[in-house]
Amino acid sequence: MSLHLLSVLRLLGPLFFLGLVVLSPAARAVDATLTSDSMTRAMVQLSDGSLIAGTIVDIRDDKLYLATQFDEEDLEIGIEFVVSFEWLQPTEMLLKDGTTTALDSLIVSSGQVTSSDEVGALGDIAVMNPRAWERGEGYHWTGDTSAALVVNRGNTETDELDVAVNSVVRSTRDRYTVNGRIDKDSSANADYDASAPEGPQNRQWIDTADNWKLLGKYDYFLADSRNYLGANVAVEADALAAIDLRTYVGPYFGRKLVAKSFLTLDGELGAAYVQTDYIAPDSCGQRGVVQAISCDNLSERYGAVNWNLTGESSILGGDSKLYLRHIGILGLSGSDQLLLKTTAGLSFPLVFGFQAAAEITVDYDASLDTEVDQKYNFRIGYAW
Protein backbone atom coordinates (compact mmCIF):
# COMPACT_ATOMS: atom_id res chain seq x y z
CA MET A 1 0.00 0.00 0.00
CA SER A 2 2.75 2.40 0.86
CA LEU A 3 4.59 1.47 -2.36
CA HIS A 4 1.46 2.19 -4.40
CA LEU A 5 0.95 5.58 -2.69
CA LEU A 6 4.59 6.45 -3.27
CA SER A 7 4.21 5.67 -6.97
CA VAL A 8 1.14 7.92 -7.21
CA LEU A 9 2.94 10.78 -5.50
CA ARG A 10 5.90 10.38 -7.82
CA LEU A 11 3.54 10.66 -10.80
CA LEU A 12 1.53 13.63 -9.49
CA GLY A 13 4.49 15.57 -8.14
CA PRO A 14 5.87 16.79 -11.49
CA LEU A 15 2.35 17.58 -12.72
CA PHE A 16 1.63 19.63 -9.60
CA PHE A 17 4.93 21.49 -9.96
CA LEU A 18 4.19 22.14 -13.66
CA GLY A 19 0.76 23.51 -12.74
CA LEU A 20 2.30 25.94 -10.29
CA VAL A 21 4.76 27.18 -12.92
CA VAL A 22 2.03 27.76 -15.52
CA LEU A 23 -0.79 29.10 -13.34
CA SER A 24 1.12 31.25 -10.86
CA PRO A 25 2.13 33.99 -13.35
CA ALA A 26 -1.44 34.16 -14.65
CA ALA A 27 -2.80 34.42 -11.14
CA ARG A 28 -0.28 37.06 -10.29
CA ALA A 29 -1.22 38.99 -13.50
CA VAL A 30 -4.91 38.93 -12.59
CA ASP A 31 -4.22 40.13 -9.10
CA ALA A 32 -2.02 42.96 -10.37
CA THR A 33 -4.70 44.03 -12.83
CA LEU A 34 -7.36 44.09 -10.17
CA THR A 35 -5.14 46.12 -7.87
CA SER A 36 -4.17 48.48 -10.69
CA ASP A 37 -7.78 48.98 -11.79
CA SER A 38 -8.90 49.93 -8.31
CA MET A 39 -6.25 52.68 -8.15
CA THR A 40 -5.99 54.04 -11.70
CA ARG A 41 -9.47 53.44 -13.10
CA ALA A 42 -12.95 54.46 -12.07
CA MET A 43 -16.39 53.05 -12.72
CA VAL A 44 -18.55 56.06 -13.62
CA GLN A 45 -22.29 55.62 -13.20
CA LEU A 46 -24.49 57.90 -15.32
CA SER A 47 -28.03 59.11 -14.72
CA ASP A 48 -29.44 56.63 -17.29
CA GLY A 49 -27.97 53.74 -15.26
CA SER A 50 -25.09 52.93 -17.61
CA LEU A 51 -21.58 52.28 -16.31
CA ILE A 52 -18.35 53.36 -18.03
CA ALA A 53 -14.90 52.26 -16.88
CA GLY A 54 -11.91 54.48 -17.53
CA THR A 55 -9.24 56.83 -16.25
CA ILE A 56 -10.41 60.25 -15.13
CA VAL A 57 -8.31 62.73 -17.09
CA ASP A 58 -9.83 66.08 -16.20
CA ILE A 59 -12.82 68.01 -14.94
CA ARG A 60 -13.22 71.36 -16.71
CA ASP A 61 -16.01 73.58 -18.05
CA ASP A 62 -18.68 71.38 -16.41
CA LYS A 63 -17.36 68.35 -18.29
CA LEU A 64 -15.72 65.15 -17.02
CA TYR A 65 -13.09 63.75 -19.39
CA LEU A 66 -12.60 59.99 -19.27
CA ALA A 67 -9.89 57.99 -21.07
CA THR A 68 -11.29 54.62 -22.16
CA GLN A 69 -9.89 51.55 -23.92
CA PHE A 70 -12.40 51.72 -26.78
CA ASP A 71 -11.59 55.24 -28.04
CA GLU A 72 -8.36 57.11 -28.63
CA GLU A 73 -10.10 60.41 -27.86
CA ASP A 74 -11.07 61.23 -24.28
CA LEU A 75 -14.77 60.71 -23.63
CA GLU A 76 -16.51 63.97 -22.72
CA ILE A 77 -19.39 63.63 -20.23
CA GLY A 78 -21.53 66.47 -18.93
CA ILE A 79 -21.28 66.84 -15.15
CA GLU A 80 -25.07 66.85 -14.88
CA PHE A 81 -25.17 63.24 -16.15
CA VAL A 82 -22.64 61.88 -13.62
CA VAL A 83 -24.17 60.14 -10.60
CA SER A 84 -21.26 58.44 -8.85
CA PHE A 85 -17.66 57.20 -9.12
CA GLU A 86 -14.59 56.58 -6.97
CA TRP A 87 -11.23 57.99 -8.08
CA LEU A 88 -8.62 56.74 -5.61
CA GLN A 89 -5.86 59.20 -6.56
CA PRO A 90 -4.68 62.42 -4.88
CA THR A 91 -6.21 65.38 -6.69
CA GLU A 92 -6.32 69.16 -6.35
CA MET A 93 -9.56 70.96 -7.09
CA LEU A 94 -10.04 74.58 -8.13
CA LEU A 95 -13.60 75.48 -7.20
CA LYS A 96 -15.79 77.99 -8.99
CA ASP A 97 -15.57 80.37 -6.02
CA GLY A 98 -11.80 80.66 -6.62
CA THR A 99 -10.64 78.49 -3.70
CA THR A 100 -8.51 75.36 -4.03
CA THR A 101 -8.58 72.14 -2.03
CA ALA A 102 -6.42 69.00 -2.05
CA LEU A 103 -8.09 65.59 -1.76
CA ASP A 104 -6.57 62.15 -1.13
CA SER A 105 -9.34 60.71 -3.30
CA LEU A 106 -12.40 61.91 -5.15
CA ILE A 107 -15.54 59.99 -4.25
CA VAL A 108 -18.89 61.09 -5.69
CA SER A 109 -22.30 59.78 -4.75
CA SER A 110 -25.62 61.11 -6.10
CA GLY A 111 -23.72 63.98 -7.74
CA GLN A 112 -22.21 65.09 -4.40
CA VAL A 113 -18.55 64.91 -3.42
CA THR A 114 -18.61 62.77 -0.25
CA SER A 115 -14.83 62.61 0.22
CA SER A 116 -14.54 66.28 1.22
CA ASP A 117 -16.46 68.67 3.45
CA GLU A 118 -15.12 71.65 1.45
CA VAL A 119 -16.62 70.54 -1.86
CA GLY A 120 -20.37 70.21 -2.23
CA ALA A 121 -21.73 69.22 -5.61
CA LEU A 122 -19.57 67.90 -8.43
CA GLY A 123 -20.69 70.95 -10.40
CA ASP A 124 -18.88 73.22 -7.92
CA ILE A 125 -15.53 72.09 -9.37
CA ALA A 126 -14.11 74.44 -11.99
CA VAL A 127 -10.87 72.61 -12.81
CA MET A 128 -9.32 69.34 -11.66
CA ASN A 129 -5.55 69.52 -11.02
CA PRO A 130 -5.29 73.17 -12.18
CA ARG A 131 -2.10 74.55 -13.66
CA ALA A 132 -0.18 77.24 -11.80
CA TRP A 133 -1.61 80.15 -13.79
CA GLU A 134 -5.15 78.85 -13.25
CA ARG A 135 -4.50 79.09 -9.50
CA GLY A 136 -3.51 82.75 -9.96
CA GLU A 137 0.25 82.14 -10.03
CA GLY A 138 1.96 83.73 -13.04
CA TYR A 139 0.92 83.83 -16.69
CA HIS A 140 0.15 81.39 -19.48
CA TRP A 141 1.62 82.13 -22.92
CA THR A 142 0.12 80.78 -26.13
CA GLY A 143 0.54 81.83 -29.72
CA ASP A 144 1.35 80.91 -33.27
CA THR A 145 3.40 82.19 -36.17
CA SER A 146 2.85 81.24 -39.80
CA ALA A 147 3.79 82.17 -43.34
CA ALA A 148 2.41 81.78 -46.83
CA LEU A 149 5.09 81.93 -49.52
CA VAL A 150 4.42 81.62 -53.25
CA VAL A 151 7.03 81.83 -56.02
CA ASN A 152 5.61 81.29 -59.49
CA ARG A 153 7.78 81.14 -62.62
CA GLY A 154 6.19 80.34 -65.98
CA ASN A 155 3.66 82.07 -68.15
CA THR A 156 3.15 84.42 -65.22
CA GLU A 157 5.72 85.42 -62.63
CA THR A 158 4.58 86.25 -59.09
CA ASP A 159 6.15 86.46 -55.66
CA GLU A 160 3.96 86.45 -52.55
CA LEU A 161 4.96 86.63 -48.90
CA ASP A 162 2.50 86.79 -46.01
CA VAL A 163 3.81 86.45 -42.44
CA ALA A 164 1.57 86.54 -39.35
CA VAL A 165 2.25 86.36 -35.60
CA ASN A 166 -0.43 85.99 -32.89
CA SER A 167 0.35 85.88 -29.18
CA VAL A 168 -1.73 85.84 -25.99
CA VAL A 169 -0.32 86.09 -22.45
CA ARG A 170 -2.96 85.72 -19.76
CA SER A 171 -3.53 85.14 -16.08
CA THR A 172 -6.68 84.89 -14.01
CA ARG A 173 -6.64 88.69 -13.65
CA ASP A 174 -5.65 90.10 -17.04
CA ARG A 175 -4.66 89.33 -20.62
CA TYR A 176 -2.24 90.76 -23.19
CA THR A 177 -2.80 90.19 -26.92
CA VAL A 178 -0.50 91.01 -29.85
CA ASN A 179 -1.33 90.38 -33.52
CA GLY A 180 1.02 91.31 -36.36
CA ARG A 181 1.02 90.75 -40.11
CA ILE A 182 3.16 91.63 -43.14
CA ASP A 183 1.82 91.13 -46.69
CA LYS A 184 3.98 91.86 -49.73
CA ASP A 185 3.10 90.55 -53.20
CA SER A 186 4.45 91.44 -56.64
CA SER A 187 4.10 90.22 -60.22
CA ALA A 188 5.87 90.78 -63.53
CA ASN A 189 4.13 92.85 -66.16
CA ALA A 190 1.87 90.79 -68.40
CA ASP A 191 3.50 91.77 -71.73
CA TYR A 192 6.90 90.44 -70.67
CA ASP A 193 8.10 87.68 -73.05
CA ALA A 194 10.92 85.65 -71.54
CA SER A 195 11.73 84.06 -74.91
CA ALA A 196 12.36 87.40 -76.65
CA PRO A 197 15.93 88.77 -76.61
CA GLU A 198 14.69 92.04 -75.20
CA GLY A 199 12.46 90.24 -72.64
CA PRO A 200 14.55 90.88 -69.53
CA GLN A 201 14.73 94.58 -70.42
CA ASN A 202 10.94 94.75 -70.82
CA ARG A 203 10.18 93.00 -67.56
CA GLN A 204 8.90 95.21 -64.75
CA TRP A 205 7.81 94.04 -61.31
CA ILE A 206 4.59 95.57 -60.02
CA ASP A 207 3.55 95.51 -56.38
CA THR A 208 0.10 93.98 -55.91
CA ALA A 209 0.16 94.13 -52.10
CA ASP A 210 2.41 96.06 -49.74
CA ASN A 211 1.01 96.47 -46.25
CA TRP A 212 1.60 95.65 -42.60
CA LYS A 213 -0.49 95.73 -39.41
CA LEU A 214 0.23 95.56 -35.69
CA LEU A 215 -2.41 95.37 -32.94
CA GLY A 216 -1.89 95.36 -29.17
CA LYS A 217 -4.62 94.85 -26.55
CA TYR A 218 -4.86 94.73 -22.76
CA ASP A 219 -7.83 93.23 -20.89
CA TYR A 220 -8.60 93.35 -17.17
CA PHE A 221 -11.17 90.82 -15.93
CA LEU A 222 -13.84 92.04 -13.51
CA ALA A 223 -15.37 90.25 -10.51
CA ASP A 224 -17.57 88.38 -12.96
CA SER A 225 -14.74 86.95 -15.08
CA ARG A 226 -17.02 86.86 -18.11
CA ASN A 227 -16.76 90.65 -18.25
CA TYR A 228 -13.62 92.72 -18.74
CA LEU A 229 -12.39 96.23 -19.49
CA GLY A 230 -9.72 96.80 -22.09
CA ALA A 231 -7.83 99.15 -24.34
CA ASN A 232 -6.27 98.64 -27.73
CA VAL A 233 -3.83 100.42 -30.00
CA ALA A 234 -3.20 99.54 -33.63
CA VAL A 235 -0.92 100.84 -36.36
CA GLU A 236 -0.92 99.90 -40.03
CA ALA A 237 0.29 101.03 -43.43
CA ASP A 238 -0.70 100.26 -47.01
CA ALA A 239 1.46 101.68 -49.78
CA LEU A 240 -0.98 100.79 -52.58
CA ALA A 241 -3.80 102.60 -50.79
CA ALA A 242 -1.50 105.62 -50.23
CA ILE A 243 -1.78 105.14 -46.46
CA ASP A 244 1.53 106.13 -44.90
CA LEU A 245 0.36 105.35 -41.36
CA ARG A 246 -3.03 104.75 -39.77
CA THR A 247 -3.34 104.63 -35.98
CA TYR A 248 -6.33 104.01 -33.77
CA VAL A 249 -6.52 103.77 -30.00
CA GLY A 250 -9.35 103.53 -27.49
CA PRO A 251 -11.02 101.76 -24.56
CA TYR A 252 -13.75 99.14 -24.69
CA PHE A 253 -15.97 96.87 -22.63
CA GLY A 254 -15.74 93.16 -23.38
CA ARG A 255 -17.67 90.04 -22.51
CA LYS A 256 -17.21 86.32 -23.03
CA LEU A 257 -20.34 85.72 -25.08
CA VAL A 258 -19.75 81.96 -25.32
CA ALA A 259 -17.41 79.96 -23.08
CA LYS A 260 -17.86 76.29 -23.90
CA SER A 261 -15.22 73.58 -24.11
CA PHE A 262 -15.73 73.39 -27.89
CA LEU A 263 -16.54 77.05 -28.60
CA THR A 264 -15.39 80.43 -27.28
CA LEU A 265 -16.51 83.85 -28.52
CA ASP A 266 -15.53 87.23 -27.09
CA GLY A 267 -17.33 90.43 -28.05
CA GLU A 268 -16.08 93.98 -27.41
CA LEU A 269 -17.62 97.43 -27.89
CA GLY A 270 -15.88 100.74 -27.31
CA ALA A 271 -14.67 104.06 -28.66
CA ALA A 272 -11.64 104.86 -30.79
CA TYR A 273 -9.66 107.84 -32.03
CA VAL A 274 -8.46 107.32 -35.61
CA GLN A 275 -5.69 109.20 -37.40
CA THR A 276 -4.67 108.46 -41.00
CA ASP A 277 -1.63 110.04 -42.66
CA TYR A 278 -1.56 109.68 -46.44
CA ILE A 279 1.38 109.47 -48.81
CA ALA A 280 1.78 112.61 -50.90
CA PRO A 281 1.37 111.74 -54.60
CA ASP A 282 4.00 112.61 -57.16
CA SER A 283 1.48 114.85 -58.87
CA CYS A 284 -0.96 116.66 -56.60
CA GLY A 285 -3.46 116.91 -59.43
CA GLN A 286 -4.54 113.33 -58.69
CA ARG A 287 -5.16 111.78 -55.31
CA GLY A 288 -5.21 108.24 -56.65
CA VAL A 289 -7.64 105.94 -54.92
CA VAL A 290 -8.17 108.21 -51.92
CA GLN A 291 -11.30 110.34 -51.95
CA ALA A 292 -11.64 113.92 -50.72
CA ILE A 293 -8.00 114.29 -49.76
CA SER A 294 -6.09 117.15 -51.36
CA CYS A 295 -2.39 117.86 -51.29
CA ASP A 296 -3.10 120.42 -48.59
CA ASN A 297 -4.86 117.85 -46.43
CA LEU A 298 -2.80 114.67 -46.17
CA SER A 299 -4.04 113.74 -42.68
CA GLU A 300 -7.46 112.73 -41.40
CA ARG A 301 -8.62 112.47 -37.78
CA TYR A 302 -11.96 111.45 -36.33
CA GLY A 303 -13.71 109.76 -33.40
CA ALA A 304 -15.32 106.40 -33.99
CA VAL A 305 -17.18 103.43 -32.54
CA ASN A 306 -15.04 100.29 -32.37
CA TRP A 307 -16.18 96.66 -32.06
CA ASN A 308 -14.31 93.35 -32.05
CA LEU A 309 -15.25 89.67 -32.27
CA THR A 310 -12.76 86.89 -31.47
CA GLY A 311 -13.76 83.24 -31.55
CA GLU A 312 -12.40 79.68 -31.69
CA SER A 313 -14.06 76.29 -32.04
CA SER A 314 -12.86 72.68 -31.86
CA ILE A 315 -16.21 71.29 -33.04
CA LEU A 316 -14.62 69.53 -36.02
CA GLY A 317 -12.45 67.44 -33.68
CA GLY A 318 -9.03 65.96 -34.31
CA ASP A 319 -7.24 68.92 -32.65
CA SER A 320 -8.36 71.12 -35.55
CA LYS A 321 -9.49 74.66 -34.80
CA LEU A 322 -11.84 77.08 -36.51
CA TYR A 323 -10.98 80.68 -35.71
CA LEU A 324 -12.40 84.16 -36.34
CA ARG A 325 -11.00 87.65 -35.77
CA HIS A 326 -13.16 90.63 -36.77
CA ILE A 327 -12.51 94.35 -36.24
CA GLY A 328 -15.00 97.10 -37.11
CA ILE A 329 -14.56 100.88 -36.92
CA LEU A 330 -17.28 103.40 -37.83
CA GLY A 331 -16.50 107.12 -37.75
CA LEU A 332 -19.01 109.43 -36.12
CA SER A 333 -19.06 111.97 -38.96
CA GLY A 334 -19.75 109.91 -42.06
CA SER A 335 -20.29 106.51 -43.67
CA ASP A 336 -17.04 106.89 -45.63
CA GLN A 337 -15.24 106.40 -42.31
CA LEU A 338 -15.98 102.67 -42.14
CA LEU A 339 -13.24 100.06 -41.71
CA LEU A 340 -13.93 96.32 -41.59
CA LYS A 341 -11.21 93.70 -41.14
CA THR A 342 -12.08 90.00 -40.92
CA THR A 343 -9.87 86.92 -40.75
CA ALA A 344 -11.35 83.41 -40.65
CA GLY A 345 -9.69 80.06 -41.06
CA LEU A 346 -9.25 76.41 -40.18
CA SER A 347 -5.98 75.24 -38.62
CA PHE A 348 -4.92 71.66 -37.97
CA PRO A 349 -1.80 70.14 -36.39
CA LEU A 350 1.02 68.51 -38.32
CA VAL A 351 3.97 67.23 -36.23
CA PHE A 352 6.18 68.58 -33.43
CA GLY A 353 4.01 71.65 -32.83
CA PHE A 354 3.81 72.64 -36.50
CA GLN A 355 0.42 73.36 -37.98
CA ALA A 356 -1.23 74.22 -41.29
CA ALA A 357 -4.14 76.57 -41.91
CA ALA A 358 -6.50 77.48 -44.71
CA GLU A 359 -7.42 81.13 -44.25
CA ILE A 360 -9.38 83.96 -45.81
CA THR A 361 -8.97 87.66 -45.04
CA VAL A 362 -11.55 90.27 -46.06
CA ASP A 363 -10.80 93.98 -45.65
CA TYR A 364 -13.02 96.96 -46.51
CA ASP A 365 -12.11 100.65 -46.35
CA ALA A 366 -14.95 103.02 -47.31
CA SER A 367 -12.48 105.87 -47.93
CA LEU A 368 -11.04 104.04 -50.95
CA ASP A 369 -12.45 103.66 -54.47
CA THR A 370 -11.66 99.95 -54.41
CA GLU A 371 -13.80 96.87 -54.01
CA VAL A 372 -13.64 94.64 -50.95
CA ASP A 373 -10.10 93.26 -50.63
CA GLN A 374 -10.14 89.46 -50.33
CA LYS A 375 -7.22 87.07 -50.04
CA TYR A 376 -7.04 83.29 -49.65
CA ASN A 377 -3.99 81.64 -48.10
CA PHE A 378 -2.73 78.21 -47.19
CA ARG A 379 -0.35 78.76 -44.30
CA ILE A 380 2.32 76.69 -42.56
CA GLY A 381 3.48 77.66 -39.09
CA TYR A 382 4.29 76.75 -35.51
CA ALA A 383 2.03 76.96 -32.46
CA TRP A 384 2.88 76.92 -28.75
The confidence score (pLDDT) of residue 58 equals 92
- 261 or 146, which is more confident? 146
pLDDT digits (tens, 9 = 90+) for 26-51: 333 333 333 345 567 899 999 999 99
Indicate if 229 and 99 belong to the same structural domain. no
Q: What DSSP state is assigned to residue 80? A: G
How many CB atoms neighbour CB 85 within 10 A?
Answer: 23
317: left (phi over 0), alpha (psi -120 to 50) or beta: left
Instruction: Pick the more confident residue, 271 or 117.
Output: 271
What average pLDDT does range 228-256 have in this prediction?
95
Confidence grade of residue 201 (pLDDT, cut at 50, 70, 90) = low
- Diameter of the chain by CA atoms? 131
Q: Is the pTM of this model over 0.85?
A: no
Q: Are 99 and 178 in the same domain?
A: no
Residues 76 and 196 in one domain: no
pLDDT in tens, 170-179: 998 999 999 9
Q: Do residues 162 and 148 lie in contact, with contact meaning Cβ atoms separated by under 8 Å?
A: yes
**What is the pLDDT at residue 29?**
38
pLDDT at 220: 97
Q: 144 and 113 in one domain? A: no
Do residue 275 and residue 312 come from a single domain?
A: yes
Same domain for 286 and 371, yes or no, is yes
Domain C-terminal end among 74, 100, 130: 130
Both 175 and 227 in a single domain? yes
Q: What is the dihedral of CA 44, 47, 49, 50, to 10 degrees?
A: -50
Q: How many domains does the chain have?
A: 2
Among 81, 111, 130, the domain-final residue is 130
Find the domain containing 123 and state its range: 42-130
pLDDT tops 60 at residue 7 = no
What does the pLDDT look like over 295-334, one tens digit per residue?
667 888 999 999 999 999 988 877 899 999 999 999 998 7
For the cut 50, the answer to whether the pLDDT of residue 367 exceeds it is yes
For the CA atoms of 289, 295, 301, 306, what is the dihedral angle to 10 degrees? 10
**Distance between CA atoms of 130 and 135, rounded to whole angstroms?**
7
